[in-house]
């Protein structure tokens, strides 16, 4: 196992009716509540937030779209600066939380152009304090320090400990209103987060491996249930906590990490608007196939511990593990090829150009996925 420092400071309020905990935000703060396209008004979450903040000084900023857009977020930054808000509360899915993280950093950014935080990875030296009420379990953003923002075809990420939420409310009841598509997307995104930190090469990190395998088994077990019995709060609860743990940072300490599926997937979303999780369900199995020699030991471990595959040749066991991963994605009703989302060979060229423009030319835990390998990964799933 490699050396690491681990510190996750986000306080989690988990369970039914925990939204009232947002009343703990200090009363001397001027709070900007941020949200998306209105789902929180339909499912009662907005009313709960309003009631919990009845003794606070607050206003709101809405319209943060899925795959949050830089231009929208900069409107929020202008409002923050003009009206001197000093605390942000994001209420919604990963896009609202990520967008709010960017606003928190951009409002304090002292460089010329806040876009540099994403495009040049300019260091974030401070940010406004922020917390969140999460309504879509998927990204793990509720307790991590990452955020992803889109500007035209550029979907870029930044990380800073200053934007890690102070607290996150995880009330599984808020997720009952998710569509089957969004519920499935969440399960698949969380699954791939675990895989990006697990499916590399062994460093004898038994805690990280066993935690990862437990989370993968949860998602394989509970994922199809959320589609079959969407009103089951126990299922929703287990999925919500699993998704948080999948990208809270705990799995990735002291181990190599991959993230190639995410980097290629971001280009599918940036160029063609494919939902984040659906880009991953197309790319991950192909990355596993393409990198099978470098990932061999972990692929065999995954085959045995997740799918109980113990016999057959090495390559047969790996093939079966990959095809069972695809079966799981199909059971979640997400695409597993470019054709499934109506993309053809021309789209491969577009994706490769974007990868090059974004300097994504040495991906994976060994930096071995250059543009030639990315091409092979994409062409394999045409
Ligand atoms: O905008 P509203 O009306 O709220 O509707 C949203 C949106 O249309 C809706 N929704 C959310 N909660 C709901 C709900 N509808 C009904 N009931 C609810 N309880 O769902 C739609 C999608 O929401 P979005 O926030 O975009 O989804 P998700 O949570 O999957 O977030 C995706 C974004 O997170 C980024 C992705 O790239 C993408 O931009 N990621 C962030 C990460 C991070 N910060 O660590 C890691 C991930 O890998 C990912 O890249
Ligand atoms: Zn993801």
Residue-wise pLDDT tens digits, 354-368: 999 999 999 999 999
- Six-digit token string for 209: 């491996």
Q: Which residues on adjacent β-strands are paired with residue 13?
A: 169
- Average pLDDT (269-282) is 97
Q: Domain locations in the chain?
A: 11-174, 180-380
- Average pLDDT (303-310) is 98
Residue 338's pLDDT band, with cuts at 50, 70 and 90, is very high
pLDDT of residue 288: 98
- Average pLDDT (65-93) is 98
Q: 11-174: what fold?
A: Rossmann fold (3.40.50)
184 CA from centroid of ligand 1 (Å): 12
Nearest CA to ligand 1 atom 28: 94
Nearest CA to ligand 1 atom 43: 141
262 CA from centroid of ligand 2 (Å): 6
- Average pLDDT (296-316) is 98
Say what percent of the chain tops pLDDT 70.
100
Residue 172's pLDDT band, with cuts at 50, 70 and 90, is very high
Average pLDDT, the chain: 98
303 CA from centroid of ligand 2 (Å): 22
Q: What is the pLDDT of residues 183-237, one digit of tens each?
A: 999 999 999 999 999 999 999 999 999 999 999 999 999 999 999 999 999 999 9
**Ligand 1 atom closest to 40 (CA):** 4
Residue 347's pLDDT band, with cuts at 50, 70 and 90, is very high
Residue 307's pLDDT band, with cuts at 50, 70 and 90, is very high
Q: Which residue ranges have their beta carbon within 6 Å of ligand 1?
A: 36-40, 43, 66-67, 92-96, 98, 135-136, 138-141, 144, 146-148, 174-175, 177-178, 182, 185, 189, 247, 262, 276
245 CA from centroid of ligand 2 (Å): 13
For the segment(s) 180-380, the CATH number from 2.30.30.30, 3.10.25.10, 3.40.50.620, 1.20.1090.10 is: 1.20.1090.10
pLDDT of residue 229: 98
Among all ligands shown, which has an atom nearest to the Cα of 101?
Answer: 1
pLDDT of residue 197: 98
Residue 116's pLDDT band, with cuts at 50, 70 and 90, is very high
């Amino acid at each position: 196992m490699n050396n690491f420092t681990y510190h996750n400071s986000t306080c989690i309020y988990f369970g039914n009716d925990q939204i009232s905990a947002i009343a703990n935000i200090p009363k001397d703060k001027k709070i900007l509540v941020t949200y998306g396209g209105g789902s929180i008004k339909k499912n009662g979450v907005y009313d709960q937030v309003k009631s919990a903040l009845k003794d606070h000084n607050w206003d709101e900023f809405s319209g943060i779209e899925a795959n949050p857009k830089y231009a929208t977020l900069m409107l929020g930054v202008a409002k923050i600066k003009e009206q001197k808000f000093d605390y942000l509360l994001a209420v919604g899915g990963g896009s609202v939380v990520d967008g709010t993280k960017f606003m928190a950093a951009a409002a304090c950014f002292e460089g010329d152009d806040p876009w540099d935080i994403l495009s040049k990875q300019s260091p974030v030296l401070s940010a406004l304090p922020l917390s969140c009420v999460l309504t879509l379990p998927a990204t793990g953003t509720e307790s991590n320090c990452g955020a992803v923002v889109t500007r035209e075809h550029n979907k870029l990420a930044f990380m800073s400990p200053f934007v890690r939420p102070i607290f996150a409310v995880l009330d599984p009841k808020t997720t009952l209103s998710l569509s089957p598509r969004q519920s499935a997307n969440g399960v698949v995104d969380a699954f791939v987060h675990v895989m990006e930190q697990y499916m590399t090469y062994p460093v004898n990190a038994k805690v990280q491996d066993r935690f990862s395998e437990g989370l993968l088994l949860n998602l394989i077990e509970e994922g199809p249930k959320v589609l079959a019995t969407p009103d089951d709060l126990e299922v929703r609860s287990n999925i919500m906590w699993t998704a948080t743990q999948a990208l809270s940072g705990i799995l990735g300490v002291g181990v190599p990490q991959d993230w190639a599926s995410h980097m290629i997937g971001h280009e599918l979303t940036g160029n063609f608007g494919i939902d984040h999780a659906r880009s991953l369900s197309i790319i991950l199995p192909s990355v596993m196939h393409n990198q099978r020699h470098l990932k061999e030991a972990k692929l065999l471990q995954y085959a045995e511990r997740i799918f109980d595959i113990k016999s057959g040749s090495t390559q047969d066991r790996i093939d079966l593990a990959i095809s069972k991963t695809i079966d799981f994605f199909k059971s979640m009703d997400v695409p597993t090829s470019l054709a499934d989302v109506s993309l053809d060979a021309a789209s491969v060229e577009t994706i490769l150009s974007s990868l090059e423009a974004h300097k994504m030319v040495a991906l994976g835990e060994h930096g071995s996925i250059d543009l030639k390998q990315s091409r092979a990964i994409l062409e394999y799933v045409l």
